[in-house]
Amino acid sequence: MHLQQREDANGRYYVRPAFNAEDYRIDRSSMRGIESWRRDHMPTQALIEMHDGPFAGWTELSRFERGGKQWVRFYNSSGEYGVDVELVEAGLGAVVELDPKAAYDLAVENDRTRTDARIVQE
- What are the pLDDT digits (tens) for 66-83? 999 999 999 998 899 999
Residue in 58, 50, 52 with CA at minimum distance from that of residue 31: 58
Predicted TM-score (pTM) of the model is 0.88
Listing DSSP states for the chain in one string gives ---EEEEETTEEEEEEPPP-GGGGSPPHHHHHHHHGGGG--S-HHHHHH-TTSTTTT-EEEEEEEETTEEEEEEEETTTTEEEEEE--SSS---EEEPPHHHHHHHHHHHHHH-SSS-EEE-
pLDDT at 106: 94
Cβ distance 37 to 54 under 8 Å? yes
- What are the pLDDT digits (tens) for 12-41? 999 999 999 999 999 999 999 999 998 888
